[in-house]
Every structure is written in C-alpha cells, then in structure tokens.
Structure 1
C-alpha cells in the first residue's frame, strides 16, 4: 500500500470517524488557530485544503460575507459529510462546496482560487512538490497561500505524552517517522521553503506562532483514546489493555491540567506565499 492509499484508509476509517464524531471538541480546541488562519483572508474564492469537518471553510465564508465563497477538499468521506451538514446549519451552503479528492492530484480548473489555505491539512501528501504545484496552478495569478503547520515535535511536548506513556503497553504502536507524510512532515522551515520554491510559489514567509489551546479535563481520556497513535492503536485492543493504558496515560498529562481545563501551547509555523505565473 502506498502513502496515498494508506492515508485514504486512515482518514476514511477510525481517524476520520473520530474527527467527525468529535468535531465540536476539536473546533473549540483549535479555535485560536482557526482565527489566525482566516483573519487576513481577502475577499474572493478560497480553497481550504484538508478541510476536514469544515470548520475553517465555514469560518472563512462567515468572515468574508457576501464577498467570499469557499471550496473545501479532503479525502475523508465521513469528515466531508460533517462539513456539508455544518455549512447547512450555518446557512452558507450556497457559498460553499466540498470535494472528496486528494488535492495532490485533483484536476482543479486552473486559475480558480484567490486564496489557498489550510489548517493542519497539508502535511500528509505523498509528493509535496507535486501537491503544491497542483495547488499553485489552481490559483489565480498572484493567489495567496496561507497555511498553518506544526513545528517540531520537540516544540510540542503535549503531542507525544500519550504515546510515550503508552508505549510499554502498546509495543506494536509504530514509531513516528518525522520525515514521512504526517503531522510533523513540514516542521523544518528550510524544507517548507524549498518545497514551495520548487512548486512555483514566491514571497515565502515561514513565521513561528505559539497559540494556547484548551480542552475540558473531562474530555481528556476520550481525546487521547481516539486521536493520534494511541487512539489508532487502541482500535483493536481488548478492554483490559485499554483500561491499563488509560490508567497509565491519564496521569502523564497532569502537567498540562489547570483546574477544569487542559492547556497546551501549539507551536506552529504560519506559512504565507504568492503563486507565480509560471
């Protein structure tokens, strides 16, 4: 199975279902990141790459009002179903569209989008230069790129608490490869710069941002048992092992617990660029 196929299986299975089922929790968790992403999106047609359940897609349209429309693209059918329902509830279905496809290879109409944006949706491509070249061609001349990706995992200790604590009990859990498509694949700013230049983007900026994210402590167990490497590993484990993992992992998060909340700093890159006309 190649990288593209494995991502499709993942996001149309347990991972995609977890995001769709927990969209309200994830929306609030990443609200500061969503605000940063959409606050400077100019009027026009926006492409939201890896749009997931559509929170950022709808947020962009709501910010732009009648001056904007947005298209979300994702490979996850369950997440896109949630996105379409969200747009309906928000009363912006007429200004939004959603496409189930891989943005790396999808045949976009050239010169369609004024802005290409993404919140954590561009780190999973099998071929980054091919993907960002395709996205550039989808844009109008000088189209803007605005995306948020994770910095290094060392800058995001919260993200490895669960797997570090659970690994002695889940020894078959895969070890992260920071260079493979995945959460931290674009954590090196030099790599990001090179990919975008090779893909025909100019005026590239890769700026660090640190945003405080919060979730209710009462949701913490549900969070780490459904998301990330531990969540995936627990999909096929027995009830006894699951209970032991919870007993071990929950205390490991204590440094991040503040009363009724769990707080962590999301260390990210805000990446901006412009499409060249080549």
Structure 2
C-alpha cells in the first residue's frame, strides 16, 4: 500500500492530480499490461529516437508504470520517472526492483513546477504523458531548464482525433445519434499536442529549438478476442454509456461488438492509430 502524500502541484493541474491519482490512474494500473501491449509497436522507434547512451541521464515525464523509464535505464547512466499517480509510481518502483535496475528512480511530481536540478539531464522523454499540463509553455520551460545545453526532448503524442480509429470509432458508436463535440486541442486532453503548429509554438516559447514532428501509424491492440476487447472498451467508455438513454444502450453495445468483430486479426483485436514523434533541442 502506498504511503505517498500528494506532491505540490500548480493550481492549473489540480484536476489532473485528482484524475491520475484517482480513478483515471486506477484504470491505467488495472489495465497496464493491455495498455503496454497496445503501445508496443511504437516503443522501439521511440527508444531509438531518444537514443540514451551509457553516459546519459534521462528524465521520463508521465512515466506511468515505468516501462519507458526502465527501458531507458538499461541504456543510460540514470533514468528518473515522474508521474502524478502514486499507484503508478508504486508499480514502477516494484518493477525496477524485480528487474534489478538500481539506476532507475521514480517520484510522484508535477513536472510543470517540480524543482528539478538545473542542467541535470541529457534527454527528456514522454510517451503520451505530456499532453495534460495546465500551462504547457511553463511546463516545457521547466523541463528545458533541467536539460543540459544540447539536450533533447523526445515525445510521442496523439495526432488528430479523427485519425485515431480506436478513439473516434467507439465514441461515434456510443453517441446514440448525438452530435458530440470533438475533444479539445488547446486545453489538457489526449489531443492537446495534436496540432503541429501548436506543438512548435509551445516548445519554441518554452526555449527549445529545432522542433521536428514525424508522423507514425500503427495498429493498436485492444484485446485477445471480441469478448476481451468488449470488456475493456465498455469499461473505458463507461460514463458515455451511462449517459445514453436506456433504450439506446442495447443497440449501441451491439454496434461495438460488431465493430470489434470486424477488427479481429491473428494478433488480437486491433484498431488504427496515428501519432507524432516530436523531437526538439535545447540550444
């Protein structure tokens, strides 16, 4: 059981602390193995872009259960993972102990304001963990301060909502005929770094240079078969299902099952996704 006390957070991030150190973080932990498998096809290219070396010190922002931190630590001198979820940090520390990685450390922290040492890291990485800052310019400015001159930032972020079938498809199927607005792209959300012009502006204003975005697409794993994926999808979209008129629920759920059946592959149920590999440098 965790003995964490809540870390200091910027007022703009208190909602994120409540979510990630609450129900949202609990869902991630409960589904951690599935989510890691879902992202697995992006992982090798992400690590290759980060390119830690035996003399690198790495900072992993929004480290979740620690997989990216631990894999970076295998290649680096040291790796520090930070996250708002105390349960995720507990899991990451336990996994580091199991894997015998003494050069990996974890801390519950708000990376937007955490007092990282100046010029302490060679590379800052984040795999889908950097889209939720209340003030992204301030957050990346804080991370840039923690980088050594010439240090790099390497991120994976989602592209446009409509390019991510596993987001857009289920949301549409469970809309019950309603015309729902798209998720925001200029406030904390999975798509807050989905627009290239905004990404370049935020990182440049934060003091970073040579911002580059590379488009990547992969099929995301959701489950081993229709029933397994159906349980996950309905859990993930529980609030949306709850908002449906009762008479619309059976039809919506059958539509989800039918969609899942259409996406069965020899490697499980898979849906299309599109991400940006974002790279930048501290001058």
TM-score tier (shorter)? 0.7 to 0.9
CA distance in 2, matches of 1:235, 1:69: 45
Alignment partner, residue 193 of structure 1: 200
Give, in whole Å, the separation in 2 of the partners of 1:236 and 1:154: 22
* Residue among 118, 138, 141 paired with 1:130: 138
Q: Distance in 2 between matches of 1:213 and 1:163?
A: 16
TM score, norm. by length of structure 2 = 0.85
Counterparts of 1:234 and 1:87 in 2: how far apart (Å)? 37
The answer to whether 1:59 aligns with 2:67 is no
The Cα of 1:15 is off from its aligned counterpart by 1.4
Gaps of 5+ in 2: 1-10
Structure 1: give runs of 5+ residues left out of the alignment.
Answer: none
Q: How many pairs align?
A: 266
Tell me what 2:34 maps to. 25
Contact 2:175 2:240 in 1 (8 A): no
Q: Hey, what does 2:52 align to over in structure 1?
A: 42
Is 1:100 the equivalent of 2:114?
A: no
1:158-173 mapped onto 2 (5 Å cutoff): 158-168=166-176
How far off is 1:157 after superposition? 2.1
Q: Which residue pairs with 1:269 in the alignment?
A: 276
Could you say what secondary structure the match of 1:89 adopts? helix
Distance 1:45 1:246 in 2: 47
Flag the 1:208–1:175 CA change in 2: closer, same or farther, 3 A.
Answer: closer
| Aligned twin of 1:5 | 14
Separation (CA, whole Å) in 1 of partners of 2:77 and 2:242: 40
Counterpart pick for 1:208 among 215, 231, 235: 215
Superposed CA RMSD in Å reads: 2.5
TM-score normalised by the chain length of structure 1: 0.86
After superposition, the Cα gap between the structure-2 partners of 1:190 and 1:25, relative to the gap in structure 1 and judged at 3 Å, is: same
